[in-house]
Amino acid sequence: MTHHFAEVVVDIHNRKVDRSFHYAIPHGLKVELGCRVIVPFNRRTMEGIVVGFSCESPVAAVKPLLDCVDSEAYLSPELIELSRWMADYYLCPFIQALKCVLPSAFNVRRDIIVEALVALEDPHAQALILLDEEAGKLFAAVARSKKPVKLANLKKRLDKQSIARLDDLVERGMLRVSTQFNARMLSDGAMHKQDALAIRAKRQLTPEQTAALAAIQTAGQQPGSTVLLYGVTGSGKTEVYVESVRQVLQLGQTALVLVPEISLTPQIYAVFASAFPGQVAMLHSALSEAERAVHYLRILAGEAKVVVGARSAVFAPLKHLGLIIVDEEHEQTYKQEDSPKYHVREVAQKRAELCGCNVILGSATPSLESYALALTGRYRLVNMLKRVDDRPLPPVETVDLREELLTGNTSIFSHLLLEKMQDCLNRGEQIILFLNRRGYSTFVVCRACGYVVKCPHCDISLTYHQKLGQLRCHYCNYAEDAPQVCPVCSSHQIRYFGLGTQRVEQEIAQLFPASKVLRLDADATGKQGAHKTILDDFRQGGAQILVGTQMLAKGLDFPRVTLVGVISADSSLHMPDFRSKERTFQLLTQVAGRAGRGEMPGQVVIQTFSPDDPSIALARDHNFPAFFRQEIQFRQTLGYPPFNHILRVVLASEDEGNLIKCAQDLGGALRQELVAMPKSHGQVMEILGPAPSPLRKLRNRYRWQVIVKGKQVQDLKSVTGAAIKKLYQYSSTGGIALSIDLDPMGML
C-alpha cells in the first residue's frame, strides 16, 4: 500500500506541540521510517523525525515535506517504539526521547573515500601514468598515500578532468570507492587493538560460574525475563557475561554490555574484543565524534555483533538483539541527569520486552529495589558467593577516628593505616586509597566572623583546589582566586576545612617521598583518554599508590593491589537522601573488593567517625543480605522505594517570585487531581510541597520542588500529567524550566 503522508515529530521542545504532524510526501522523494526530514512549521523551516506513515490525513490542508536529511533511517521501528514508551513513562516530550535515542546518528557524516588496489610500482600503474595523463594524475595522487584518501580532498588538489576518470579506474580494478568514516582509524587496526594487560586468560569456569550460566540459560527460555546475578567482588561475573554472550552469538543474535563508568569501558571492551575478535564496538560520550561515528556505522552495517558502552549505549542500533547485560546495576550513574531522566535498568528491560530478549543485572551490592524484586520472584536470582579459586574476601578493619583524635593524632591517616601502607610498600605491592571528595579542601571559612565562601550562581560552598590556587564550584564550574582576607570582616583568619583527594595526594607525597602517587578523579581525567592512561600506568606498575573518588569503586581489577584504605567513610553517610546508607554500604563494599584479587591476599582499612553504623559495620563483614534486611524495614516504615514510587517535579527560574507562584499553582493542581481520583487510588498517594529544593539555587536559577508518592506508577503519571497540563494552560510559565524525575536517584 502506498503511503501518501508522513507522521513527523518536529524538533521543538514545547509541551504544547508534543505530538506528530502530517506532511504530504512529494513524488520522487524517498522517505523512510526513522529518518530526519525538513518541514515547514508555523512559517519556519524545521527539522523533524518520521515516526509513522498513513494513507489519510486528519486535516484537509497538508503541507509537503521539503527534503530528507538522511539517505537512510537510523532509527529502527523498535527504537521508535522505545522512544514513545520513554516519553510516556518519564513524562517528557516525544522529540526529547527521540533525540536521546539518536544522538550519534545526528553527528554521522559519511565521507566518500578512495583507495588504491594496485601499487604505484606496478607495471600497469606505470603504463597508466605514462600513457593517460588525466587518469594517471588521479591514480598517482591516491597511490602515493599509504592510506585511503577523501574524495573531497582529491577534488581540491586535482582538476575536473582527472576527477572525471574515477569511474573508469574503479571499473578497471585500480581504485576502490567506499563510504567507511575516518579511514585512518579503520586501516591501522585501531578498532580491534587489544589491551593485553586488561584481558583475562580464558580459563575453565568454576562450579558456581557453571551453575550461574545454566540458570541464565534456563531463564533465556522465557523472553523478556530479567536475571539478577548477585556475585561477591572477585567471583568472576565477567566470565559469566562472556560465556552468556557467546551462546547468544552462536544463535545468530547480538548482545549489549553496559557499564556504569566510562573509565571501565576500555577494560571490559578489551575482554570482549579478546573473546570475539573483530565483532565488538564501543560507545560512550568520551569518544571523539569521529570515533563514535566509526563504531556506530560498524553497528549499523552489522559488522559489530557486541556493543560495550556506558549509559547511552543502551540505544545502540543493534539488530536481532539477544541479550542485554547491565554490570554494576546498582550504580546511580545509570540514571540520566537531563531530561528525559531515564534509568538504564528500566530502558533495558523495556527494550528486551520489545525485541524478545533477556536482561542480566549484575552486582556485588544490588540495589534494594532489584534485590526485593528477586526475592519476590519478579527477577530470577542467581548467586555467586565465592571468589575465583576460593580466594578469601579481604579482612576489613575499622578505625574509630574519634579515638585517634583522643590520642593526639590529627593526621588524615590513622596509625593503623600508615603502618599497613608502609608494610605494603616494603613488599613492593600496590595500594588504593578512596575518598569521595575531590579538590584539596571542601570549604573555606573565616574563623573570625564565620563567613563561608559560596558560589554566586549556586547555593553551595566553593571547594579549594590548591594546585590552581582557586576556589571552584563543582556544579557550574565557577572559579575565583582563593581569598587572602575575609571579604566581609577583612580578617586574615581564612582557614580551609574538609578533605579532598588533592590533599590526600599531597600528604602521601610528603610521608612516602620514594613512592609515586596517581590520582583518579574528575579533575585528573578532564582530557580525553586520561582515564585509561592513569589506569594503565597503575596497572603496569608505574605507581605504587592510587588515590581516587568513586571511580575506583567500580569493577577495576588490579592483581597487585593488596591494601585498600578508605580515608573517610562518613562523606556519603550523612547526605540528605533516603539512599545515603545504601550508597555508603555499596561504596565501601565495592572499593574493599579491589583488594586481594590476584594471588596475594588483600586487606582493607576503613576510617570513620561512625564505626557502629550498620552500613559501615555490615560492609566490614561483607554481609549484603543482613544490610538488605535492616534497610528494607526502614524503607517500608517511611514508605520509600521499593514500597512506593516517587515522582519529583522541580521548577527553576531566575525570577523566584514568579517561580514560587507557579510552584504553588502546581501544588494546588496536583491536590485537585488527587481529590478527583477514585478513593482506592487517592488513599495511597501523598503530595509533599511545594518547597525549596535542598540545593535552592543552581547556575543562577532558583529551584522549588513538589514530590508525589504512591504505589502505582500509572497513577502518579496520570495525576502529575494532568496537573502540569493545567499549569501550562492557566499559569504564567514564561522563563520557568520544568524537570520531571520518576524515582530519582538523588534529591538535591
**What is the DSSP code (8-state) at residue 197?**
T
Residue 727's pLDDT is 83
One-letter identity of residue 330: H
Bridge partners for 24 per DSSP: 5, 64
Q: Residue 260 and residue 241: Cα distance in Å, rounded?
A: 15
The three grid cell numbers given for residue 697, joined into one nine-digit string: 539555587
Going by C-beta distance under 8 Å and a sequence separation of 6 or more, which residues neighbour residue 301?
Answer: none
For the chain, the C-alpha Rg in angstroms (whole number) is 29
Domain spanning 195-389, CATH architecture: 3-Layer(aba) Sandwich (3.40)
> With contact defined as beta carbons under 8 Å apart, do 47 and 40 qualify?
no
Q: Residue 291 and residue 283: Cα distance in Å, rounded?
A: 9
Which residues of the chain fall below pLDDT 50? 1, 105, 181-201, 682
Buried b (16+ CB within 10 A) or exposed e, 489-505: eeeeebebebbbbbbbb
- For residue 340, cis peptide bond before it (omega within 30 degrees of 0): yes
Task: List, as own/partner pairs, every contact residues 656-662 make where C-beta atoms lie below 8 angstroms and the sequence separation is at least 24, other chains included.
Answer: 656/702, 658/732, 658/735, 658/736, 659/702, 659/704, 659/736, 660/690, 660/704, 661/731, 661/732, 662/727, 662/731, 662/732, 662/733, 662/736
Residue 248's pLDDT is 94
> With contact defined as beta carbons under 8 Å apart, do 565 and 586 qualify?
no
Residue 362's pLDDT is 95
**Helix-strand-coil split of the chain, %, nearest 5:** 35, 25, 40
Within 313-405, strands assigned E span: 321-327, 358-363, 380-384, 396-400
Q: Residue 547 and residue 476: Cα distance in Å, rounded?
A: 24
Q: Residue written as cell 567517625?
A: 609
Half-sphere exposure of 664 (CA within 13 A, CB side): 6
- For residue 559, cis peptide bond before it (omega within 30 degrees of 0): no
> With contact defined as beta carbons under 8 Å apart, do 549 and 504 qualify?
no
- For residue 26, cis peptide bond before it (omega within 30 degrees of 0): no
Domain 645-742 in this protein, CATH class: alpha beta
DSSP string, 43-94: TEEEEEEEEEEESS-SSS--PBP-EES-SS-SS-HHHHHHHHHHHHHTT--H
**What is the DSSP code (8-state) at residue 181?**
S
Q: Residue 93 and residue 16: Cα distance in Å, rounded?
A: 9
Residue 692: strand, helix, or coil: strand
Would you give the end-to-end CA distance of the chain in angstroms?
53
Identical fold between 396-438+500-635 and 645-742 = no
Torsion angles phi and psi, residue 735, rounded to 5: 80, 5
Residue 350: strand, helix, or coil: helix
Residue 272's pLDDT is 92
Q: Residue written as cell 502546581?
A: 666
Residue 498's pLDDT is 66
Other Cβ atoms closer than 10 A to 645: 20
Q: 5-106 domain in CATH 3.40.1440.60?
A: yes
Pairing outcome for strands 306-309 and 254-258: parallel
The three grid cell numbers given for residue 374, joined into one nine-digit string: 528477586
Residue 200's pLDDT is 46
In the chain, domain spans: 5-106, 119-178, 195-389, 396-438+500-635, 645-742
Residue 314: strand, helix, or coil: helix
Q: Residue 551 and residue 570: Cα distance in Å, rounded?
A: 17
> With contact defined as beta carbons under 8 Å apart, do 567 and 434 qualify?
yes
Residue 40's pLDDT is 84
Residue 683's pLDDT is 56
Torsion angles phi and psi, residue 482, rounded to 5: -65, 130
Bridge partners for 306 per DSSP: 255, 280
Task: Report the CATH superfamily, name and number, of domain 396-438+500-635.
Answer: P-loop containing nucleotide triphosphate hydrolases (3.40.50.300)
Triad 591, 368, 500: Cα angle to 5°: 35
Q: Residue written as cell 582493607?
A: 604
Q: Which helix (H) or strand (E) holds 722?
A: helix 713-730
Supply the angle between the helices 133-143 and 123-131 in degrees, to the nearest 10. 140
The three grid cell numbers given for residue 106, joined into one nine-digit string: 545526528
> With contact defined as beta carbons under 8 Å apart, do 567 and 435 qualify?
yes
Residue 193's pLDDT is 40
> With contact defined as beta carbons under 8 Å apart, do 231 and 329 qualify?
no
Q: Residue 328 and residue 325: Cα distance in Å, rounded?
A: 10
